[in-house]
Amino acid sequence: MCGIVAYIGKREAYPILIKGLSRLEYRGYDSAGVAMIDKKGDLNVYKRKGKVSELISFVKDKDTTGNVGIGHTRWATHGEPNDVNSHPHYSQSKNLVMIHNGIIENYATIKEGLTKRGHTFLSQTDTEVLIHLIEDIQQHEGIKMGHAVQAALKQVIGAYALVVLDKNDPDTIVAAKKGSPMVIGIGSDDFFIASDASPIIEYTKNVVYLDDEQVAIIRRGQELKIRNLKDKEITPYVQKLTVELESIEKGGYDHFMLKEIYEQPRSVLDSMRGRLQADLGEVRMGGIVDHEKKFEKAKRILFIACGTSWHAALVAEYLFEEFARVPVEVEYASEFRYRNPVIYEDDIVIAISQSGETADTLAAVELAKSRGATVLGICNVVGSSIARATHGGSYTHAGPEIGVASTKAFTAQVTVLTLMALHMGKVRGTLTESRFRQLLYEMEAIPSKIEEVLKLNDKLREIAYTYKDSRNALYLGRGVSFPVALEGALKLKEISYIHAEGYPAAEMKHGPIALIDEEMPVFVIATKGANYEKVVSNIQEVKARKGKVTAVVTSGDKEVKAMADYVIEIPETDEFLVPLIAVIPLQLLSYHVAVMRGCNVDQPRNLAKSVTVE
């Protein structure tokens, strides 16, 4: 959740840290802080509650010199957001400082023991306890910082990505990870450490992704050294970043979210590129080729995911059952991992995560693997933990998504899942050749149809103005459009703080219809398809109770237009591909409502982009 950045080399560290924290702020923005060792050998720590801009204002008249430093932007877990709980945290002697992403579950026990040994603590955080423990071990055992970090981490339970700086050893940084992401950039004469590649790509394309329980010893002017907690030396595996700097900038848009909504024609196309060839009647999924026999014989598919990715999995449930005729179950990863699920060795488990670092999903992956299932991953981040932990899978190629509320990641996930369902249908012989080819041509047309929907932005802004002061909203859909209703409701409540719920339209009469009055906005996906007449009846039920209806309809629809307050016409497509198009206007509506309400669209309160803690 939190963002980590560090630098050691010949450049001034502070500008690199601040720029890096600004790029990582989507991971948490409760507070921010930096620590640098200046040329006199003094360790300067500056931290403040609030966003990175607050920190910049605070340090503008202070000494920020030095060629080594660490920085942190926080999403609070232990301890409320305030100056004291902000990172970096000192050790007892104030010779060591540390930044940390994750949760140390047994910190209270460790803290009790350290308190008995004379340690005093200033904050409520688990992080301060850990840096005290590292120093305690270092002092009592007379060992170097790297070995002290290894020894301390053997005692902790939980997740961490951490970086430690020692005032008495300004030429060394120690970093470690377990369950939280960490990447090390290797420059010509310097090193960059971060939670993801965004603070690094401006300086180098050569990176090393740390694996769990690995500790990196990073010394100025020397080669990178990596050891595991058993003190076995690991040869660093250097990879090349493919991300470009322009992809993490706003590019003239007011918000990252709006930019990412408008990037969807490209991100959907990129997610199909090289995989779909309609003219040849082929779908090629490189990451699952080795598992085709499993797909052919699979008796059940389990999807595990959280949040927006869970909604993408719900869409996939309809697609896989329709195209491949295989039973599908969709599980919240956070629930799946804490019960005793029934998993068979011939199950296929598909984990979906934009970041590839979602803690609950990663734990569910490990559980499924331990039961012998074939586990595949759908991720957007190359080299992420889930991508490395699964037996195979596919990247979505959505590009970096900075806005906390996911948009293009959702459509990219649905695109890849649709291709997987089509591929599985072809392998299992459950799709006729004509139906298969028809769907491929329909898929090829999706990017241009999304472009058509984006042209409705001005109209959607006008509709949003009508609902900007609403306190509640209902979203309705049937069949494969029901998950779109859920996703539309999630987007509205995430960024505008309006309470919203998604329901299957037929379920409205089983409870939610009691909420309908002239103040209740109801958004309905009412495109042409097998359930169209049923949805029309549901709209009539809402209008009979004076509800305000905004309907997403197929272009040219007249029946719904005659009864709805507003209609949003989208291009016609196969009903099983509607989610890829129908979600776009719901994203834009949510965006405009949030802007009109003065909300921070890219960084909604209490949220963070990558949920790497439970």
What is the per-residue pLDDT across 189-243, written as a single tens digit (0 to 9) for each? 999 999 988 899 999 999 999 999 999 999 999 999 999 999 999 999 999 887 7
Structural domain total, the chain: 3
Q: 43 lies in a domain?
A: yes
Cα separation, 313 vs 530, whole angstroms: 21
Q: Is 2 in the active site?
A: yes
Q: 608 lies in a domain?
A: no
Examine the domain organization and report whether 220 and 271 are in the same domain.
no
Among 401, 427, 454, the domain boundary falls at 454
Walk across the sheet containing 472-477 and list its strands: 499-504, 472-477, 521-525, 548-554, 566-570
pLDDT at 279 over 70: yes
Examine the domain organization and report whether 375 and 511 are in the same domain.
no
Catalytic residue among 51, 111, 426, 609: 609
Weakest mean pLDDT among 50-59, 433-442, 504-513: 504-513
Pure H helices in 93-196:
107-116, 126-141, 145-153
pLDDT at 383 over 90: no
What is the per-residue pLDDT across 563-611, written as a single tens digit (0 to 9) for each? 999 999 999 999 999 999 999 999 999 999 999 999 999 988 877 666 6
What average pLDDT does this structure show over 482-496? 97
What residues pair up with 172 in beta bridges, in sequence order?
219
pLDDT band at 182 (very low <50, low <70, confident <90, very high): very high
Indicate the DSSP class of residue 560: T
Q: Is 379 in the active site?
A: no
Q: 488 lies in a domain?
A: yes
Peptide bond into 88 cis (omega under 30): yes
The number of beta carbons lying within 10 Å of the beta carbon of residue 484 is 29
Q: Tokens representing 281?
A: 């009647």
Query: Within 13 A of 259's CA, how many CA atoms are on the CB side?
Result: 19
Examine the domain organization and report whether 360 and 375 are in the same domain.
yes
Among 188, 216, 247, the domain boundary falls at 247
Residue range(s) defining the domain that contains residue 523: 455-602
Under a CB-based contact definition with an 8 Å cutoff, are residues 510 and 604 in contact?
A: no
Identify the CA nearest to 145 among candidates 63, 215, 247.
215
Cα separation, 88 vs 27, whole angstroms: 16
What residues pair up with 304 in beta bridges, in sequence order?
331, 351
Look at residue 544 in the predicted model and tell me its pLDDT: 86
Examine the domain organization and report whether 466 and 415 are in the same domain.
no
pLDDT at 247 over 80: no
Examine the domain organization and report whether 185 and 308 are in the same domain.
no
Domain CATH code at residue 537: 3.40.50.10490
Q: State how far the alpha carbon of 199 is from the alpha carbons of 107, 150, 183, 204, in Å.
A: 30, 26, 10, 10
Examine the domain organization and report whether 330 and 357 are in the same domain.
yes
Examine the domain organization and report whether 433 and 491 are in the same domain.
no
Please, what's the b/e burial string for 501-531 (b: 16 or more CB within 10 A of its CB; e: otherwise)?
bbbbbeebeeebbebbeeebbbbbbbbbbeb
Pure H helices in 179-283:
256-262, 264-272
Amino acid at 199: P
Examine the domain organization and report whether 237 and 263 are in the same domain.
no
Catalytic residue among 2, 306, 379, 599: 2
